[in-house]
Structure 1
Amino acid sequence: MLMYPQIDPVALQLGPVAIHWYGITYLVAFALFMFLGTRRLRHEPFASITGPGAWSRKDVEDILFLGVLGVVVGGRLGYCLFYKPGYYLTHPLEIFYVWQGGMAFHGGMLGVIASMVWFARSRQRPWMQVADFVAPCVPTGLAAGRVGNFINGELWGRFASPDLPWGMVFPQSGSMLPRHPSQVYQFLLEGLLLFVLLWLYARKRRAEGQVAAMFLIGYGVLRFVAEFFREPDAFLGILSLGMSMGQWLCVPMVLAGIAMWMWCGRRDAGAPTRGRAAG
């Protein structure tokens, strides 16, 4: 049984300015996106696109900027709507109190999708092409965020067997019983494993939209599994069918990913036939 090390959330104090570890993990996530995004420029089909629609480093920078806005706005609104709608309906101004915490991945994902739609339209590119470009670059950022969760000692796991070698006591949870370090599980599953699988999957030719669809499926499945070990939000607990809110939000995500993957495959298979008929 391990004891949570009680890491100081402040990495560096410079007078009145405090630099938090969580902020550093965000910077790491952004840097990783830029690094991977510039590598994606060398992958097909992006490397072969020429003319006005050619991809460049400037596109990666713009996508990152818009993605950050989407994550912050969507993540906050998602938390308010998915987890505490009644409270924020009666306290609407507190929606803007982002310094009090409260962000939701699924809301952030919707915010990123909206920002990518805007980017695609402004650059006159197919939205699914943009989504395919972005999807493999996202999981490392999610991994960095889980590191921040662990450093902050938040989002701890459910109670674990005392025999579990890596069971960890989180005193801030109000209990001295061992728990699953679910932040580490999510770091490994939704972060590293999803990155490796998606990066390898994207290296081969896929129908346009299938890489993004595979992200929806992969994240949804891995997050659903991780939720079995993560302590549900105290104000929600376990919902119907014994599932947490995180699991319920993953269900439509996986179904949408499967439907999108199949639709993109059928559309791609029919494209050559339509092209010959038109010729």
Structure 2
Amino acid sequence: MQHYMTFPAIDPIIVELGPISLRWYGLMYLVGFVAAWFLAKKRLSTTPWTEEQLSDLLFYGFLGVILGGRIGYVLFYQFSHFIEDPIYLFKIWTGGMSFHGGLLGVITAMALYARKIKAPFFQVADFIAPLIPIGLGAGRIGNFINAELWGRTTDVPWAIIFPNAGPLPRHPSQLYEFLLEGVVLFSLLWWFSSKPRKKGAVAGLFLLAYGCFRVFIEFFREPDVQMQGIYDNILTQGQMLSVPMILFGLFLLLRKAPVISHKEQA
């Protein structure tokens, strides 16, 4: 008889001081942000920006992730709940973030910041794109520690029985996402962006690669309860939202554009 690992129930709160608490998921966001900051500084010399402008850019991006991620989750995955209780949008402590919503938030933030400093949009987008997988990977580790967003049932030897997910073993899909959306995507984009590319090509590769990875991983990830049965079980919500990313990423990579460096775009 096959024996599977039973995931221990870990308190999502690391430490609590009065009304302030540090959660694993929040810590992973912080780790991702700090790592992105150090790597962005490493490449700052390839841009026309100052360190102060870089700090502002990353702050804009961080706000885009938080606001877009929450709004996207509520609209994409909990819309009926939102209609019944509009205040639910602001109940961040109940959990719930969407990557696709966070992406739209970051795109909006980059567009606003590019306009503010009078820089081409794709100069900002191509610089930021290789930094995003760091936060994605850290977030997936947070999901794994919280034993949430688990995978579909399976009998593979590395399957895990998660708390609150029933007695059956499941794919540790959070770790699959950490590997593909975090490690592999970061390595690919960091290498690709190390040389001058067509304007928008780095951002395009991010959209294409993430979209493909997400579509693949969704076959192993259990759909959110409220989304099960959507699209007649052919596609998940995550896959549907990733299709436009793939198409637009292909467009950016295949379109004719000059090869140009970050500094030359200014």
TM-score, length-scaled by structure 1: 0.87
Q: How does 1:99-248 map to 2 (within 5 A)?
A: 99-161=93-155, 164-173=156-165, 175-240=166-231, 242-248=234-240
Partner SS for 1:87: helix
- Distance of 1:182 and 1:196 partners within structure 2: 20
> Equivalent residue for 1:13?
16
> Equivalent residue for 2:27?
24
Q: Any conservation in 1 of the 2:32–2:135 contact (CA below 8 Å)?
A: yes
Q: Any conservation in 1 of the 2:81–2:88 contact (CA below 8 Å)?
A: no
Which protein is bigger by CA-based radius of gyration?
1
Higher relative contact order (CA 8 A, sep 6+): 2
> Equivalent residue for 1:267?
257
The CA deviation at 1:19 is 1.8
**Alignment of 1:255 onto 2:258:** no
**Alignment of 1:82 onto 2:76:** yes
The CA deviation at 1:58 is 1.6
- Distance of 1:24 and 1:76 partners within structure 2: 17
**AA in 2 matched with 1:31:** V
> Equivalent residue for 1:274?
none
Partner SS for 2:9: coil
- Distance of 2:248 and 2:97 partners within structure 1: 22
**Alignment of 1:34 onto 2:37:** yes
**AA in 2 matched with 1:232:** P
Partner SS for 1:13: strand
The CA deviation at 1:60 is 2.1
The CA deviation at 1:89 is 2.3
The CA deviation at 1:185 is 0.5
TM-score, length-scaled by structure 2: 0.91
Paired residues in the alignment total 256
Q: Any conservation in 1 of the 2:140–2:174 contact (CA below 8 Å)?
A: yes
- Distance of 1:127 and 1:144 partners within structure 2: 26
The CA deviation at 1:208 is 1.1
The CA deviation at 1:194 is 0.3
The CA deviation at 1:15 is 4.9
**AA in 2 matched with 1:90:** E
The CA deviation at 1:101 is 1.5
> Equivalent residue for 2:263?
none
> Equivalent residue for 2:264?
none
Runs of 4+ in structure 1 displaced over 3 angstroms?
Answer: 13-17
**AA in 1 matched with 2:211:** G
Q: Any conservation in 2 of the 1:232–1:238 contact (CA below 8 Å)?
A: no
**AA in 1 matched with 2:5:** L
- Distance of 1:120 and 1:177 partners within structure 2: 49
The CA deviation at 1:16 is 5.0
After superposition, give the CA deviation of every residue in 1:162-191 in whole Å (9 maximum; x if it has no partner). xx2210001311x11110001111000100
After superposition, give the CA deviation of every residue in 1:187-231 in whole Å (9 maximum; x if it has no partner). 001001100011001112201110011000011111111111110
- Distance of 1:70 and 1:16 partners within structure 2: 26
Gaps of 5+ in 2: 261-266
The CA deviation at 1:238 is 4.3
The CA deviation at 1:127 is 0.3
Partner SS for 2:8: coil
**AA in 2 matched with 1:260:** L
- Distance of 2:128 and 2:168 partners within structure 1: 41
- Distance of 2:229 and 2:142 partners within structure 1: 25
Identity of aligned residues (%): 48
